[in-house]
Amino acid sequence: MVSKTTNSYGNITINDKAIALVVFNCTQDCYGVVNLVAKDIFESFIELFSKSYKFAKGVKIKAIQNRIVVDVFVILKHGVSINAVAKSIMDSIKYNVEDFTGMIVDSVNVHVMGVRV
């Protein structure tokens, strides 16, 4: 899928994989995040056999008109505040994706799939 927007310079089309890469890097930079994981068995299976899919594991992008919805599936470090880390992830993704695309991030959903010691 692609995200499309229009501004004074013309039409802009951004591939969802590019947005997913920005989201992946933002999430990896947040303190307390151990890893991003696939949301279900089907995505885990695809990840095993696809080399190009690895950078976007644990990230789901949905573009509706001029708005973007982001879902992130993470494993957090044991002992960190889940609420604080999730808030940090949300703020980082919202700022960086809006800066990168020029589109509005409607929501960022952080799904904590587990905790590792």
How many CB atoms within 10 Å of residue 76? 23
The CA–CA distances, whole Å, from 16 to 19, 56, 78, 82, 97 equal: 5, 10, 31, 27, 11
CATH of the domain at 42: 3.30.70.1350
Q: Six-digit token pair at 15?
A: 């591939």
pLDDT at 53: 54
pLDDT digits (tens, 9 = 90+) for 27-57: 999 999 999 888 766 665 566 566 555 667 8
The number of folded domains in the chain is 1
Residue 78 resides in a domain: yes
pLDDT digits (tens, 9 = 90+) for 102-115: 889 999 999 999 99
